[in-house]
Structure 1
Amino acid sequence: MASTNDPFQFQEFEEAGNLLEANRDATTISIEDDEIKPEKQRRAAAFSPDGEDEDPLASDDKTELLSGQQKSVPFWTFEYYQRLFDIETHHVKERIIGSMLPWPGKNFIHLYLRRNPDLYGPFWICTTLVFAIAISGNLANFLVHLGKPNYKYTPEFQKVTIAATAIFSYAWFVPLALWGFLLWRNNKIMNLVSYSFMEIVCVYGYSLAIYIPAVVLWILPYEWLRWCTIVVALCLSGSVLVMTFWPAVKDDHPKIIIAIMSAIVLLNVLLAVGCKAYFFSKPEQALPADISAATDVTKAPSPT
């Protein structure tokens, strides 16, 4: 029979049980606490490195991402333009659709750009429009003179250069002039809405997207179809520009409002009508000349 002083008896557990019964609010510490820590605490401990191993550049990037702000860099650096081409495909798609289907009362900059303009979409829209105008103009000219015995088709490559000069000048110099004018008026009237230069370039670039399908339809030698597509494209493109820049000038002098809105619409009309008049000739223009030339060739000389 075991003695009462048997060293193998665990009397300390009985004493601990008595203490817990006496004070049920007491806190106990187990040596297995490290093993039964919650999963979140272990993950937090695993991803909290020491201050010596932490990268300060990575910390700055995390801070920018969490705060939703972008670090401003000078415009002459490569990082400045790299950020303008860092955009997802679905964002470009949304902006193209938004420029073709303007909604009344909606501002294109506030609705789609959200202080994040890009040059990827405007650059490729302008480039596609340049080649669409040049190729469609050549095809339209070929269809007009198709079947005429004295006509020899020669591709007009100079149309690419002329179209590129017109399109990129409109997409860059007009926004530059408008940005300078709005900046000047904003310095005189402090409560005006201000846009950055890249935001204005982005709006003008995306507003040209509607002209790409319109130019393709100009291949068909029907003047009524060409003018109908011009009117539709002008209405859609002009609506995007007017609704976007109206908040920036609505609090200005009435004469300034009329002047700037008229200039925006007029330059858009001149671009569309000028491209149509220069690159696409009327199908009826060549007929009288050909008839007169044929009569001159077949006309016999009068006897003396």
Structure 2
Amino acid sequence: MARVNDISSTEKLLDLIRKKGHDARPAASPTGENPLPPPPLKKSVKRSFSFKIASSRNAINVGVDIGHEALRMVRMVRTSPGKWALTGYETAPLNRETRRGTPEFISLLKSELTSFCGSEKNINIWAIMSAANVSVRHIRVPKIAKSQIENAVFWSVKKETPFNEKETLLDFEILEEVVEEGVPKWLVMAYTAPSREVQEIRGLFSKAGMPLAGISIVPFAIQNVFRTRWIPAMEGNVASLFIGNDFSRIDIYSRGNLIMTRGIKAGINSMVESLLWRRCRAATGRRPTGSRERRPP
């Protein structure tokens, strides 16, 4: 089982941030069926990722969320093993001139982070990426040597949901040992994300002169809250519901671990549209001008 002070880094998508150029494809299929002939997996791949937020005892961690309307920043410091304290929080509004990707946004990002971080040198900056673009799944693989698990996870995920490893980053975390029909297996949480988006986020901070230490998603951030016991893990399951402008998500946690996450392609905008549609239809008996042909749910 993952230790309480082990913090998921979201992807180990961090290879793109910390070290470029590795081939994440394992060397052969663990089942022995039609193995592909890619180059051998580098021994340094797994060690290049970390489940801990900070490697230094005195490091300060700054989290950044680039929203539609605001840039949000939080600052945390580790007070003791497994214990963290919130030491700062700020919000900077965004507008059309400072929308994401523009030179004005880069300038804003640099100035706000510089002011927020102050003169501290030992800082790890983490950014949030959209969970809508990260696929999370739980799989079970044979209880093989941990050195072979990366290989097994790759082929298991590839079989369930084929993906292009040149365009997708894959990471996983071993949760615990389980028994299935008398056979011991590893329960693994695996996640994939488009490398292009990771590169784009990394590029924003690099241009601002504030290189990232890691990238995460909100479901994993909430999981970290449970694992570090900021909020004691409750008996039974805990559900978290997020409703965004165009996307919503429900996450289920058990014993501090994320066990299910589901995205919904609907949000506040579709709710507003549906309410306006029904109100206009009730008042006039006609479909509102400019609305979709299909009746909202």
Query: What range is the shorter-chain TM-score in?
Result: under 0.3
For the pair shown, which has the larger CA radius of gyration, 1 or 2? 1
Per residue, is there more helix in 1 or in 2?
A: 1
Per residue, is there more strand in 1 or in 2?
A: 2
TM-score (norm 1): 0.20
TM-score (norm 2): 0.20
